A and B are shown apart, each in its own frame.
Chain A
């Protein structure tokens, strides 16, 4: 059955744009302020107030559209989407309906090592709504209007995604592209990147779309993938039983890991769209659009190709690193100071990402200069510290913000690389442990490990391991010659 059925997924993604002020008034867009402290008569929908478009929002939206390979409209306008909800102060959302900012784009992404492309149907600009907060104790619902009027773009894909994994990979690539283009922070946990998914099944080879469900409340990449997997199973089961699916909106219940029905088509809103009379239609100057296009930075797919070609990184490494612009910038800067790309890549993917993941941080929150990592790696090469000490120094440097070299000095972590001093320790170890020395000389090579351990113990781990091993081997060989 599973192979006879094709999964069809399309996404509607809402992305908050990184502007200082809201889309139609001068209020701040900062996240996390106390409720209703970033509001004014305009974003509260007071009588008599009017919207004025923030041109920075328009510019960022055009930037996003260009990064997604869309055709930006010459003529575009705003429309009102009418519905009642307490988080919507005017009783309508200023959005775009039949003349969106941009259309006909595409985004290439990688899934399981293969490249796939999804078409972007449209990108349009709109305002965000407020947030409802339910007080569990009193049963009251309160509204925070801080988010109300934050600029959003809605990115709508064609139904080109064929599995939950693809949907997730697409979203990850979309996030990377929008971060690269510097249009959004794309923080899903802060709601600056939100996604609804349309999913339906059809017999493989069919061209008509099956009856879809729209899934809402997908607050993480994981939730997106899990909810879609659940839907594939639910819809498959229903079709196997011969049931008819209904066109409906469902919500992802994170706690129970299921989707639940929210409303059916009969209950759907009639939004009564009409042109927003308070804002004049816009004619975008193609030269301005071209200027924005020229100012776009290298995007993740281009950068990945370059990382493979220029630094000789494996596709996997390049993919992991370019997924975050900050991480990729970090990598490149570090390589500039320490020109061993594969070593840097190993450290970035291992230590750096490991550190971030263990604390639930985003790469943007990394408080560590790439020059510092280069400095650390150079100390390993110079034999000043061992790799294992370097790992500890990294952890400490990242969390304290101190320079690795200062930490090494402060804590006296330098390796003992002084041949004379180390030779004395080696001699001492050999004298104190005649039995393992004998074993080694009789060919029991494993005994060398024990002797090395003793050297490290006596030097509190600071002995340069390569040097210690060489001196130990030399000493053992010499003394054997002397014995007979």
Chain B
């Protein structure tokens, strides 16, 4: 990797450096207008996105209907390109949907619109959210703002890179096996995967339905809470959405973490974890202890089987979820076909990339007659064991702390030829999805000039504890206040 890492402290005079709650103060005081914020972001995108490729689609025009909201604040948000936005192209990073314009808004988008948010653009991603580096996109890879030769992580790499590089104040991602948390860690921003059922999946393009959740990617914990509060809630259009959810109260500034019990699972600090990452995470746990929390090592003994179970369950569901891209009703259709079967085969051959095809084949195989019990059913049993590991931990701990990713951002191209090495990038995030738990990643240090992410894992529906602990950590540290100096950008 070129040694070009440069970073700087955030500049309070630069609109695109601010967190949203800081922007809100300026807007409420009337010091800036929503249009100023919009234009600052559009300019920033024009400046750096040629280098980063964080966006697939940018919406450069300020929505005229938001011109006068009677003083109610208006904010742009970047949205991962697998979340349906009415009238705005939604590609899933795939050729097969390269020109697809959705006729409806995802529930998450509607909820944000109701609260004065509008879509600034659609961010790059691994095709159909399958990948950990943002290199599996039909629209080219996204680069890491901290080092243009490194990956931003994936699959929500575009959203994480955009927030890190000041191309968006905040963003939506989706997390099936770590796709919000891992890129947030690799790009030095905050990312949260909510409890399964917290946020409606209606309008999120399904990858693995039993694992997928939409989650926020933000510059700090307070913004994460604001976006969570907007996103969460029961949706009658999603049968898996949890009914009767109370809104998450604000993670008010915490003087002390006294009484908070933190487990540090030893399986998450094993040999695959880079030394510098382990050191940063343990140091961060030390900070939490200084704040009054009690931390101790614990064990989640079935962790090592998580990855295998995930790579059976997720492809199985994906093989079925992606069957609808058949060229009949929408999306790419081959022009070479001479029969129905031909049409199906060529459309999908031309429309899907290699990783998507690999997972469809894996999923089809594990669901096939004669293999179902040995693979799918078995993986579901492993899933149950992983859930039980966590349930046992909740008897003793309020939350668990671990690295989000075993390494910092790795070089572009390093793992593209080795799918298994790529899959390892999610080894520490996957168990959380299998168990449906909430988890948050926040910046906790740097190694070789690249951000390290601390992962906090909580009890089902206890996002509040994660946010409070993370907020206390950010009040005691300044890792979240560093900004990358992007490639050819003129410093200062």
Contacts and interface: CB of A to CB of B under 8 A. Distances in A.
Interface of A: 41, 44-53, 80, 82, 84, 86, 89-92, 143, 270, 272-274, 277-280
Given A270-B368, A277-B210, A280-B239, A47 B329 contact: no
Contact of A279 (B106, B239, B323, B367): B239
Interface residues of B, number: 44
Contact of B100 (A47, A143, A273): A47
A470 to B, nearest CB: 77
Nearest to B92: A47
B239 A48 contact: no
B320 interface: yes
Nearest to B128: A47
Interface of B: 82-84, 90, 92, 97, 100, 102-104, 106, 201-206, 208-210, 236-240, 316-317, 319-320, 322-324, 326, 328-330, 340, 344, 364, 367-369, 372, 376
Contacts of B376: 274
B209 A278 contact: yes
Contacts of B103: 41, 46
Given A48-B202, A86-B340, A91-B322, 4 more contacts: A47-B92, A47-B324, A272-B320, A274-B320
Contacts of B367: 82, 272-274
B320 A82 contact: yes
B342 to A, nearest CB: 12
A278 B240 contact: yes
Contact of B320 (A41, A80, A280): A80
Given A41-B103, A47-B102, A280 B240 contact: yes
A91 B326 contact: yes
Contact of B201 (A50, A86, A272): A50
A270 B364 CA distance: 10
A277 B326 contact: no
A48 B106 contact: yes
Contacts of B92: 47
| A-B CB proximity, top 4 nearest | A91-B323, A277-B209, A272-B367, A277-B210
Given A84-B344, A270-B369, A274-B376, A48 B329 contact: no
A84 to B, nearest CB: 6
B317 A277 contact: yes
Given A270-B369, A278-B239, A45 B320 contact: no
Contacts of B82: 48
B238 A50 contact: yes
B238 A90 contact: no
A41 B323 contact: no
Contacts of A41: 102-104
A50 B324 contact: no
A274 B376 CA distance: 9
Contacts of A52: 236-239
A39 to B, nearest CB: 10
A16 to B, nearest CB: 23
A48 B84 contact: yes
Given A90-B323, A92-B323, A48 B340 contact: no
Given A41-B103, A80-B320, A84-B323, A47 B239 contact: no
Nearest to A53: B239
B323 A48 contact: no
Contact of B206 (A48, A53, A86, A280): A48
Contact of A47 (B205, B237, B326, B372): B205
Contacts of B329: 44-45, 89
A53 to B, nearest CB: 7
Most buried by B among A49, A82, A92: A49
A270 B371 CA distance: 12
Contacts of A89: 324, 328-329
Given A45-B329, A46-B330, A48-B83, A272 B238 contact: no
B90 to A, nearest CB: 7
B326 A84 contact: yes
B320 A92 contact: yes
A127 B97 CA distance: 26
Contacts of B208: 277
Contacts of B364: 272
A51 B106 contact: no
B147 to A, nearest CB: 33
A91 B324 contact: yes
Given A41-B104, A46-B102, A47-B100, A143 B237 contact: no
B320 A50 contact: no
12 contacts: A47-B84, A47-B100, A50-B238, A51-B239, A52-B236, A84-B344, A89-B328, A89-B329, A92-B320, A270-B368, A277-B210, A278-B239
Nearest to B100: A47
Contacts of B83: 48
Nearest to A91: B323
B12 to A, nearest CB: 39
A273 to B, nearest CB: 8
Contacts of B317: 274, 277
B106 A47 contact: no
A400 B240 CA distance: 55
A237 B450 CA distance: 80
A274 B372 contact: yes
A258 B92 CA distance: 49
Residue of A278, A279, A280 with highest tally of chain B CB at under 10 A: A278
A256 B2 CA distance: 76
Contacts of A273: 367
Nearest to B90: A47
Nearest to A84: B344
A280 B82 CA distance: 23
Contacts of B84: 47-48
